[in-house]
């Protein structure tokens, strides 16, 4: 299925682009993240397991078990703090 992936802040800077359409084989956010990591650098270091990465599915904060749908929008961004 095809999903639109958006990258924000330091993840966008590391990957070198703000968005792309990705054909994904898996069915969850975790599977998408793993497929992107498997592409190698710069995805591997920007989205690495053990790194704090927040995810949203169709603009709702989601965990890795969230199910993907054809044409959905996924966003990856680092945790942010405010003050």
Q: What CATH number does residue 44 fall under?
A: 3.10.20.30
Q: pTM for the full model?
A: 0.93
Number of folded domains that form the chain: 1
Q: Which domain holds residue 8?
A: 2-77
Q: In a structure prediction context, what are the per-residue pLDDT tens digits for the chain, which is 83 residues long?
A: 999 999 999 999 999 999 999 999 999 999 999 999 999 999 999 999 999 999 999 999 999 999 999 999 999 999 875 55
Q: Is residue 41 part of a domain?
A: yes
In a domain, 52, yes or no: yes
Q: For residues 50 and 40, give the distance between their C-alpha atoms in angstroms, rounded to a whole number.
A: 16
Does any domain span residue 68?
A: yes
Q: Is position 82 within any domain?
A: no
């Amino acid at each position: 299925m095809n999903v639109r992936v958006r990258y924000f802040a330091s993840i966008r800077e590391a990957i070198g682009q703000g968005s792309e359409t990705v054909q994904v084989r898996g069915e969850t956010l975790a599977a998408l993240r793993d497929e992107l990591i498997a592409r190698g650098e710069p995805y591997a270091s920007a989205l690495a397991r053990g790194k704090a990465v927040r995810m949203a599915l169709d603009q709702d904060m989601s965990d890795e078990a969230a199910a993907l749908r054809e044409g959905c929008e996924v966003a990856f961004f680092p945790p942010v703090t405010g003050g």
